[in-house]
């Protein structure tokens, strides 16, 4: 068995045997297979794909490259919710506390952002004192107490995925449905919760740009989860425009808290209730309609916010932010963009807004880049809104960046307008 034969088989769309997939995953993880050979195989997968059996085998091999958690110490049904990534996506900070307040245990390990998509760990680390690097025993103890905890992914979980993902990012081989599926599901299966809910984002701000692509990924991940003996469901949600009005780490924590305070409704709230209801239904809490009502009541009563506050405090963070969001880090500089004439907002390119926030310091282009927790964008509109001349469109925030010119141009150009004084599109 050798890597040249494996590359050639995938290049010619000849299915690999399970043993060959285990060989390449283990060999690359141990450093026995060089980057250039693994890159060649990844590109062959991008061009020719993998069949279901190969995808299942790749997922298992990546899962088994490290530890698989034993969650039997948690006192009930465990559920893991994952998003495929997007702009302004702070749903885990809302859905987890809602589900936990309804009796489901939600242990979650998350990652950092790279490129235009944000990372849940970066958002949480904008909370003063919040620890994301807890030992497993402390993590499990918090989940047993509050029903919810998010920490950073352990170095012993899926080392193959960490190494392969970094190579995919550097070799232009990210956009392959089997590779995306194996990357996501290997981590989900290593966490080993009873239930897996997958939020597959679709649109300009997501990896999956079309509904067809998103549905293919969702269906494949469901089949992988079912084959592994998990209750697994994938829900496709829209990411053509940012989720909510805030983009950036501390700004998104603020908006998540305001949703749980009952102050913010709209698309973000609706998607979070939908995701929470799916988690509750999968966990045996009743029909989807009953679970929707339970999720709404958890927000209205304040129980979900109380879960978030207690969890933040147990992880070393300042829980007072749940009562006073002004205690979150505040940007030193800001720049307001106003409408130059009467316009109607036709569409918003979420990816371009994400890139604009990255220029402000809210994200990272390279893995080791520093993040400004205060940086980001607050929108004052949704698609379809009519904006009067000189009314605010958005505000840009940063502490490290005082020259907003490049980010402001990119953010403004992310919006497609209809000029209400003429028939022109801008």
- Binning the chain into helix, strand and coil, the percentages to the nearest 5 are 45, 15, 35
Mean pLDDT across the stretch 24-32?
A: 96
Residue-wise pLDDT tens digits, 373-405 = 999 999 998 888 899 999 999 999 999 888 999
* pLDDT score recorded for residue 366: 66
Listed in sequence order, the residues at least 6 apart from 351 whose beta carbon sits closer than 8 Å to its beta carbon are: 87, 116, 204, 205
Token pair belonging to 408: 């402001």
Residue 49 has pLDDT above 60, yes or no: yes
Residue-wise pLDDT tens digits, 240-254 = 788 899 999 999 999
Choice among 81, 187, 201, 233 that is catalytic: 187
* pLDDT score recorded for residue 367: 61
Angle of CA points 234, 237, 238, to nearest 5°: 155
Percent of the chain with pLDDT over 70: 96
Choice among 63, 112, 163, 168 that is catalytic: 168
* pLDDT score recorded for residue 413: 94
Choice among 81, 82, 163, 254 that is catalytic: 82
The H or E element spanning position 317 is none
Q: Facing residues of 201 across strands? A: 237
Choice among 161, 194, 238, 372 that is catalytic: 161
Residue 117 has pLDDT above 70, yes or no: no
Distance of CA 260 to the CA centre of its chain: 19
Pairing of the two strands 79-83 and 195-202: parallel
User: Is 5 in the active site?
Assistant: no
Lowest mean pLDDT segment, chosen from 28-32, 103-107, 169-173, 262-266:
169-173
Choice among 92, 183, 241, 283 that is catalytic: 183
- 123-126: long-range contacts, CB 8 A cutoff, minimum separation 24: 123/90, 123/93, 123/249, 123/250, 123/252, 123/253, 124/93, 124/150, 124/253, 124/317, 125/249, 125/373, 126/249, 126/250, 126/253, 126/328, 126/329, 126/373, 126/374
Residue 206 has pLDDT above 80, yes or no: no
Lowest mean pLDDT segment, chosen from 77-86, 97-106, 209-218:
77-86
User: Is 168 in the active site?
Assistant: yes
* pLDDT score recorded for residue 420: 85
Count H helices, E strands: the chain?
Answer: 16, 12
- 310-316: long-range contacts, CB 8 A cutoff, minimum separation 24: 310/145, 310/146, 311/97, 311/142, 311/146, 311/148, 311/149, 312/127, 312/130, 314/142, 314/145, 314/146, 314/149, 315/130, 315/131, 315/132, 315/134, 315/142, 315/149, 315/151, 316/129, 316/130, 316/131
DSSP code for 186: H
Percent of the chain with pLDDT over 90: 76
User: Is 82 in the active site?
Assistant: yes
pLDDT bucket at 368, cuts 50 / 70 / 90: low
With helix as H, strand as E and coil as C, how does 94-131 read?
A: HHHHHHHHCCCEEEEEECCCECCECCHHHHHCCCCCCC
* pLDDT score recorded for residue 38: 96
pTM over 0.85: yes
* pLDDT score recorded for residue 155: 65
CB 16 within 8 A of CB 49: no
pLDDT bucket at 272, cuts 50 / 70 / 90: very high
User: Is 216 in the active site?
Assistant: no
The H or E element spanning position 393 is strand 392-398
Q: Rounded to whole angstroms, how far apart are CA atoms 327 and 241? A: 28
User: Is 324 in the active site?
Assistant: no
Q: Rounded to whole angstroms, how far apart are CA atoms 77 and 67? A: 21
Domains of the chain: 3-49 (1.20.970.10), 79-322 (3.40.1030.10), 330-419 (3.90.1170.30)
């Amino acid at each position: 068995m050798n890597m040249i034969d494996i590359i050639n088989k995938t290049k010619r769309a000849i299915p690999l045997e399970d043993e060959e997939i285990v060989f390449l995953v283990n060999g690359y993880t141990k450093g026995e297979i060089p980057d250039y050979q693994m890159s060649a195989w990844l590109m062959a997968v991008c061009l020719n794909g993998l069949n279901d059996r190969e995808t299942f085998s790749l997922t298992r091999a990546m899962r088994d490259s490290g530890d698989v958690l034993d969650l039997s110490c948690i006192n009930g049904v465990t559920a893991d919710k994952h998003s495929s990534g997007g702009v302004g996506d702070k749903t885990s900070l809302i859905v987890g506390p809602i589900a936990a307040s309804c009796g489901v245990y939600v242990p979650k390990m998350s990652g950092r952002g790279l490129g235009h998509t944000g990372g849940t760990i970066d958002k949480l680390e904008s909370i003063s004192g919040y620890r994301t690097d807890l030992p497993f025993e402390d993590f499990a103890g918090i989940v047993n107490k509050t029903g919810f905890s998010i920490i950073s992914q352990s170095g012993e979980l899926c080392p193959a995925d960490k190494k392969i993902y970094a190579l995919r990012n550097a070799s232009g081989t990210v956009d392959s449905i089997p590779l995306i599926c194996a990357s996501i599901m290997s981590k989900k299966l290593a966490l080993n919760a009873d239930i897996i809910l997958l939020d597959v984002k679709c649109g300009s701000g997501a990896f999956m740009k079309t509904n067809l692509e998103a549905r293919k990924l969702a269906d494949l991940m469901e089949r992988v989860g079912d084959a592994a003996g998990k209750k697994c469901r994938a829900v496709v949600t829209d990411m053509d425009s940012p989720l909510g009005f805030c983009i950036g780490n501390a700004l998104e924590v603020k908006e998540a808290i305001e949703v749980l305070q009952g102050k913010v409704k709209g698309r973000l709230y609706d998607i979070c209730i939908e995701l929470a209801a799916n988690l509750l239904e999968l966990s045996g809490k009743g029909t989807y309609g009953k679970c929707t009502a339970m999720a709404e009541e958890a927000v209205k009563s304040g129980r979900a916010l109380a879960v978030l506050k207690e969890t933040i405090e147990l992880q070393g963070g300042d829980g007072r932010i749940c009562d006073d969001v002004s205690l979150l880090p505040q940007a030193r500089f800001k720049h307001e963009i106003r409408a130059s004439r009467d316009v109607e907002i036709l569409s918003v390119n979420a990816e371009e807004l994400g890139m604009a926030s990255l220029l402000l310091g809210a994200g990272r282009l390279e893995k080791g880049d520093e993040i400004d927790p205060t940086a980001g964008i607050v929108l004052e509109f949704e698609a379809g809104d009519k904006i009067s001349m000189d009314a605010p469109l958005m505000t840009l925030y940063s502490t490290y960046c005082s020259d907003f010119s490049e980010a402001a141009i990119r953010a403004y150009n992310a919006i497609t307008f209809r000029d209400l004084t003429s028939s022109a599109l801008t």
